[in-house]
Structure 1
Amino acid sequence: MEATQQGADVFFVLMGAILVFAMHAGFAFLEVGTVRHKNQVNALVKIIVDFAISTLAYFFVGYSVAYGVDFLVSAAVLDGSAEGSPFAKQGFDLVKFFFLLTFAAAIPAIISGGIAERAKFWSQAMATAVIVGLIYPFYEGIVWGGNFGLQDWLSESYGAAFNDFAGSIVVHAVGGWIALGAVVLLGQRKGRYTSDGRVVGVPPSSIPWLALGSWLLCVGWFGFNVMSAQSVEGVSGLVAMNSLLAMVGGILVALIVGKNDPGFIHNGALAGLVAVCAGSNVMHPIGSLLVGGAAGAIFVIFFNLCQNRWRIDDVLGVWPLHGLCGLWGGIACGIFGQEALGGLGGVAFMSQLIGSLAGAAYALAGGFAVYGALKLLVGIRLTPEEEAQGADLSIHKIGANPESEMAPR
């Protein structure tokens, strides 16, 4: 029975890892559909290469930073079959690594959408290695690994530790606030704003690709949230229901506030899911519906403010979507997770507020530090000529539809 239970947990977490891995296709196609046609190949290549770099950075450095575990031992020790092995039997710790890796690799995938159409390819690759190897796992270890005693202090001071069940802060807010630093340092896309103050619209290249990206992310998100339990015994249908209701709330509010714009609607679903991650294990479904709905409004309002008033050229709106909706979700867990509002309790508002704000501030500082150093040392932006030509031809020497772009014979 013990072996069967362990095998079930291995399979459960593996399926979660595969679902979250599939979300990276969602990140890719969301970006492909949003950027101009001349930058579609670059979007696809960035996401898959960033995942490969993230894997190595997290395997050799990041996982050890977060949890004090390394994999430089024999395979018999790794799969738990060796006598006295600190690793769980049947390779459970290995699929757990895979699962958590897919979370870590989401950070550069999030950033990619904000810096699209004008970022240097190899500079971003270097940023990915540093962020996934050091910046992200440091905060991950504080929240999920219990490092440096912050969780103990919050528990002693306010009666409950910081609850971030599936990463509204650890993953999404951290990714979104790092991206803000990168976007600000990169500057606006060529021709996005005119010298006389006009905003030049840049329409999406493909609404179907954008929608496909959103759908892939929505489906995978149920692995992201539900399987954060990391065991069959700990799985809860409440997490699934809360995720569903928050997604629906985000869609419907974005539909109304965004005036039926398909980009806002499909991103509204993601806004709701970002916000519910933190408290999906403790909130009532109606509370999740409200949290997701508020996130849908936050995304639409702040996307428009960024693009039109503040002139922060965040191409996919990753700071409003992941940074602000993630921050809202972390704080909202301390409100709607309370028993008085139908939640399971066991959360404290002050712990949620401190943990959420600390994550956002740390990530913003990390974003400016990493991309500021790269800007100084190697540069982070394409030349005006390369940007005008498009990242596809400038970097990869091929467009999205090579045959149709060839001169007729």
Structure 2
Amino acid sequence: MEAFQTASDVFFVLMGAIMVLAMHAGFAFLEVGTVRKKNQVNALVKILVDFAVSTIAYFFIGYAVAYGVTFFSNANVLRGAELVNGQHAFASSGFDLVKFFFLLTFAAAIPAIISGGIAERAKFWPQLIATAVLVGVFYPLFEGIVWNGNFGIQDAITHIFGAPFHDFAGSIVVHAVGGWIALGAVVHLGVRKGRYTKTGGLVGIPPSNIPFLALGSWVLCVGWFGFNVMSAQSVSGITGLVAVNSLMAMVGGILTALIAGRNDPGFVHNGALAGLVAVCAGSDVMHPIGALITGGLAGFLFVWAFEKCQVKWKIDDVLGVWPLHGMCGLMGGIACGVFGLSALGGVGGVSFGAQLVGSVGGAAYAAIAGFVVYGVLKNTIGIRLDSEAEYYGADLSIHKITAYPEDDVKAS
């Protein structure tokens, strides 16, 4: 029975890892549908190669930073079939390996989130360097603090507030960290050519392909149930409450984004994602009505913040990743300390003070990391395409082919 339980956990976590891996296709098509046609190939290649670099960085460095575990042992040890000093260094059936795979897909979401903000004017190779540094060092440092209790920070929060900082599936650890790092990247890059008039007026750049944008959103929504539910990381830890809360937050985000966004399809499809981002932290402790309210607030917040970024603050965040992941993630982490309380129908075991400190602290840490990493790259090797390359698009400038090469042949 013990062997069967372990094998079941391996399969469960493996399926979760595959579902979250599929979400990276969602990131890719969300970006493809939003950017102009001359930058679609770049979006696809960037997401895929970022994942490859993330895997190398997390395998050799990041996972050890977060959890103190390295994989420099023979394969029998790694799969739990061989003892080290008379003890199993790794769980049987290779459970630790699929756990790494699962958590890798979370880590790789950091550059996937950033990618949407820096689209259409970022250099290719400097972004890969940023990916390696962020996934290898900066992300796992915070991940280890929250999910592995590193440096005693969770103990200190528990001592002060009576409960640890709670982030079940990464509203802060993944989404807020990715979104606030992206803010630094976007600010350092500056706005796209032609985005604003000389007097500061906004020049509209419509999405290139609404069906692709919608496809990306749908793929992300489906994969998100692996992202949230399978964060339990064991069959015995599964709870339908996480699934229903994720569902309620998603639909809440859709409906408020529909209203606030005045039927705009881009806002509607991103509203679903805003709700899912916000509910990650408290999806295991909220009542479904609390999750619905959390998702609804996130959908409204995304529309408001996206418009403020583009029109008033002149922050040219192409996909709105700072509003979507950064702001909605921050709001979700704090909301966990409200709607997770037993007094409001939640499971309890959370503290508003702990959620506020952990959420704001995570956002501040990520913002500093983003400004530092991209600031150093900007002042050394440069992070932005030159004017000519940006004009012709990243597809031709970097990859030497467009998304529709047959049209180019006909035109010539």
TM-score (norm 1): 0.99
Q: Which residue of 2 aligns with 1:357?
A: 360
TM-superposed CA distance for 1:198, in Å, is: 1.5
Q: Structure 1 stretches (4+) deviating beyond 4 angstroms?
A: none
Q: Which residue of 1 aligns with 2:47?
A: 47
User: Do the aligned partners of residues 361 and 408 (structure 1) sit closer, same or farther apart at CA in structure 2, a change above 3 Å counting?
Assistant: closer
> Structure 1: which amino acid aligns with 2:268?
I
TM-superposed CA distance for 1:85, in Å, is: 2.6
> Structure 2: which amino acid aligns with 1:81?
A
Q: Which residue of 2 aligns with 1:397?
A: 400
Residue 386 of structure 1: which of 378, 389, 409 is its match? 389
TM-superposed CA distance for 1:347, in Å, is: 0.1
- Inter-partner Cα distance in structure 1 for 2:231 and 2:161: 25
Residue 263 of structure 1: which of 244, 261, 266 is its match? 266
> Structure 1: which amino acid aligns with 2:360?
L
Q: Which residue of 1 aligns with 2:8?
A: 8
TM-superposed CA distance for 1:405, in Å, is: 1.4
Q: Which residue of 2 aligns with 1:27?
A: 27
TM-superposed CA distance for 1:135, in Å, is: 0.5
Q: Which residue of 1 aligns with 2:149?
A: 146
CA RMSD for the aligned pairs? 0.7
> Structure 1: which amino acid aligns with 2:273?
L
- Inter-partner Cα distance in structure 2 for 1:359 and 1:73: 33
User: How is 1:2-401 mapped onto 2 (pairs within 5 angstroms)?
Assistant: 2-83=2-83, 84-401=87-404
Which structure 1 residue ranges, 5 or more long, are not aligned? none
- Inter-partner Cα distance in structure 2 for 1:408 and 1:18: 41
- Inter-partner Cα distance in structure 2 for 1:196 and 1:349: 44
Deviations 1:258-317 (A, max 9, x none): 000000000000000000000000000000000000000000000000001110000000
- Inter-partner Cα distance in structure 1 for 2:232 and 2:94: 17
Partners of 1:165 and 1:279 within 8 A in 2: yes
How many residues matched?
Answer: 409
TM-superposed CA distance for 1:154, in Å, is: 1.0
Deviations 1:196-232 (A, max 9, x none): 2221000100000000000000000000000000000
Q: Identity of counterpart residues, as a percentage? A: 73
- Inter-partner Cα distance in structure 1 for 2:387 and 2:138: 30
- Inter-partner Cα distance in structure 2 for 1:407 and 1:270: 39
- Inter-partner Cα distance in structure 2 for 1:196 and 1:298: 28
Comparing 121-130 and 77-86, the one that deviates more:
77-86
- Inter-partner Cα distance in structure 2 for 1:402 and 1:237: 47
> Structure 2: which amino acid aligns with 1:35?
V
- Inter-partner Cα distance in structure 1 for 2:238 and 2:353: 27
TM-superposed CA distance for 1:408, in Å, is: 6.0
Partners of 1:275 and 1:295 within 8 A in 2: yes
> Structure 2: which amino acid aligns with 1:55?
T
Partners of 1:182 and 1:367 within 8 A in 2: yes
Comparing 196-205 and 328-337, the one that deviates more:
196-205
Partners of 1:79 and 1:92 within 8 A in 2: yes
Any idea what SS the aligned residue of 1:367 has?
helix
Which structure 2 residue ranges, 5 or more long, are not aligned? none
- Inter-partner Cα distance in structure 2 for 1:289 and 1:235: 21
Deviations 1:233-255 (A, max 9, x none): 00100000000000000000000
Partners of 1:78 and 1:85 within 8 A in 2: no
